[in-house]
C-alpha cells in the first residue's frame, strides 16, 4: 500500500531499522540497523564485491521492495510512492545509461524536471537553466554543457551523472561508486564537492566506495558490510582497523593514525582466500 507523504522536512535525520531486501526470494540484506545519518554528514558504505552495498542503496532509494523502517525525520519512506521517494532521496547508480541522444545541459535539465517541486518560481525555464549551469560549473564540466552525452569519456560521463544527481537537491544523496572512473584530481574534487554540498544544504550523503583511504579522509561515518550484514560502524578511526580489514576484505593491513587525525592504510598482503568475507 502506498503511504501518504508529509511535507519534506529540512534538517531531518535518516534512521534505518531492520531493513531487509533481496531478489525474488533470495535474501541479500538481512534486517540491518544502521547508525543514524544526520543532516550535513557524509558516510561511506564499504565492503567486498557482492556484499550487498548496491542492493542496500537501491532499497534506501525505494528502487526495490524492502521491509523494515527507513525514516527521514517523521516520514517513513518504505511504502511511499516512487515519485514521493525520489523527491527526498536521489540515487546515482554504478552504471550509467548509454545511447542517450542529449547534450550534457539537456540531460541535467531533464533530471531537474523529473524532480519538479510544483513551485512555479523554482521551476521556470530560466531558474532551471541557472541551477543546471551552476551545478555544471561546480562539478567542473561547464565546458561540456553543449557536448552530446554519447561523445563523452567514461570519467566525463560519471561527472555528468553526479551533476544530474546534485541538481535535484535531494535531502539524501546516495552515490554508488561515484569516483570509480575518475582520475586522482577529479576524485578529490568530487569528494570535496560532495562534502561541501552536504554541509551547505544540510544534505545527507551516503557513498559506496572501494578506496579506503579516500573514505577515511572524507567521511563522518563508515558502515562496513559483508555478506549482507553489518561488520563495523563508527568514525573512520573506529571502523577501519587491521582487524575489520582482515575480516571484511581478507587482507593483512596496517592502519596508522597520522598527527592531523587522518588514517594511513597500508595493505601488505592477502590472507588465505577463505578469510575474505565475500
Ligand atoms: N538484479 C539482481 N538479481 C538477482 N541478484 C542480484 C541482482 N543484483 C545483485 N544481485 C546479487 O546480490 C548480491 C549483492 O550484489 P550487490 O550488487 O548489492 O553487491 P555490491 O556489494 O554492490 O558489489 P560490488 O562491490 O561488486 O558492486 C550478489 O550476490 C549479486 O549476485
Domain locations in the chain?
14-275
Average per-residue pLDDT in the chain? Answer: 91
The residue whose CA has the least distance to atom 8 of ligand 1 is: 55
Nine cell digits for residue 24? 525474488
CATH class of 14-275: alpha beta
Which residue from 23, 66, 224, 226 has its CB within 8 A of the most atoms of ligand 1, so it is best to mutate? Answer: 23
Predicted confidence (pLDDT) per residue in 65-110, tens digit: 999 999 999 999 999 999 999 999 999 998 777 777 899 999 999 9
Q: Are 73 and 12 in contact (CB under 8 A)?
A: yes
| ipTM of model | 0.98
Whole-prediction pTM:
0.93
Instruction: Tell me: pLDDT of 273 over 80.
Output: no
**What is the Cα–Cα distance from 184 to 131, expressed in whole angstroms?**
27
Distance 52 CA to ligand 1 centre (A): 6
170 pocket-lining for ligand 1 (C-beta < 6 Å): no
47 pocket-lining for ligand 1 (C-beta < 6 Å): yes
Nine cell digits for residue 261? 587525525
What average pLDDT does range 27-36 have in this prediction? Answer: 96
Nearest to 163 by CA among 134, 190, 139: 139
21 pocket-lining for ligand 1 (C-beta < 6 Å): no
- DSSP assignment string, the chain: -PBPPPPPPSS--EEEEEEEEEETTEEEEEEE--PPBPTT-EEEEE--TTSSHHHHHHHHTTSS-EEEEEEETTEE-TTB-HHHHHHHEEEE-SS-------BHHHHHHHHHHHT--S-TTTTSHHHHHHHHHHHHHHHT-GGGTTSBGGGS-HHHHHHHHHHHHHTT--SEEEEESTTTT--HHHHHHHHHHHHHHHHHHT-EEEEE-S-HHHHHHH-SEEEEEETTEEEEEESHHHH--HHHHHHHH-EEEEEEE-TTS-EEEEEEEE--GGGS--
Which residue from 30, 48, 55, 207 has its CB within 8 A of the most atoms of ligand 1, so it is best to mutate? Answer: 55
Q: What is the pLDDT of residue 117?
A: 62
52 pocket-lining for ligand 1 (C-beta < 6 Å): yes
Predicted confidence (pLDDT) per residue in 217-236, tens digit: 999 999 999 999 999 999 99
Ligand 1 atom with least separation from CA of 48: 25
| 77 alpha carbon, distance to own chain's centre | 17
Q: What is the pLDDT of residue 260?
A: 73
Rg from Cα positions in the chain: 19
278 pocket-lining for ligand 1 (C-beta < 6 Å): no
**What is the Cα–Cα distance from 15 to 11, expressed in whole angstroms?**
13
Residues, the chain: 278
Amino acid at each position: 500500500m502506498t503511504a501518504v507523504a508529509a511535507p519534506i522536512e529540512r534538517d531531518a535525520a535518516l534512521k534505518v531499522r531492520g531493513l531487509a531486501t533481496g531478489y525474488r526470494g533470495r535474501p541479500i540484506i538481512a534486517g540491518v540497523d544502521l547508525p543514524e545519518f544526520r543532516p550535513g554528514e557524509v558516510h561511506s558504505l564499504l565492503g567486498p564485491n557482492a556484499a550487498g552495498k548496491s542492493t542496500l542503496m537501491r532499497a534506501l532509494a525505494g528502487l526495490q521492495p524492502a521491509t523494515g523502517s527507513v525514516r527521514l525525520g517523521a516520514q517513513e519512506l518504505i511504502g511511499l510512492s516512487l515519485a514521493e521517494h525520489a523527491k527526498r532521496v536521489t540515487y546515482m547508480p554504478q552504471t550509467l545509461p548509454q545511447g542517450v541522444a542529449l547534450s550534457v545541459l539537456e540531460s541535467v535539465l531533464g533530471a531537474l524536471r523529473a524532480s519538479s517541486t510544483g513551485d512555479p518560481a523554482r521551476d521556470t525555464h530560466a531558474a532551471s537553466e541557472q541551477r543546471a549551469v551552476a551545478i555544471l560549473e561546480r562539478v567542473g564540466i561547464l565546458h561540456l554543457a553543449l557536448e552530446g552525452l554519447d561523445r563523452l569519456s567514461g570519467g566525463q560521463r560519471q561527472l555528468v551523472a553526479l551533476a544530474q544527481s546534485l541538481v535535484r537537491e535531494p535531502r539524501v544523496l546516495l552515490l554508488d561508486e561515484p569516483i570509480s572512473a575518475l582520475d586522482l584530481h577529479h576524485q578529490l574534487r568530487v569528494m570535496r564537492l560532495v562534502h561541501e554540498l552536504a554541509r551547505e544544504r544540510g544534505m545527507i550523503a551516503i557513498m559506496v566506495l572501494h578506496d579506503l583511504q579516500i573514505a577515511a579522509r572524507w567521511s563522518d561515518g563508515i558502515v562496513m558490510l559483508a555478506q549482507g550484514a553489518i561488520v563495523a560502524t563508527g568514525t573512520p578511526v573506529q571502523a577501519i582497523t587491521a582487524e575489520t580489514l582482515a575480516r571484511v576484505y581478507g587482507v593483512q593491513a596496517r592502519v596508522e593514525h597520522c598527527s592531523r587525525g587522518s588514517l594511513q592504510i597500508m595493505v601488505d598482503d592477502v590472507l588465505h582466500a577463505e578469510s575474505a568475507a565475500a
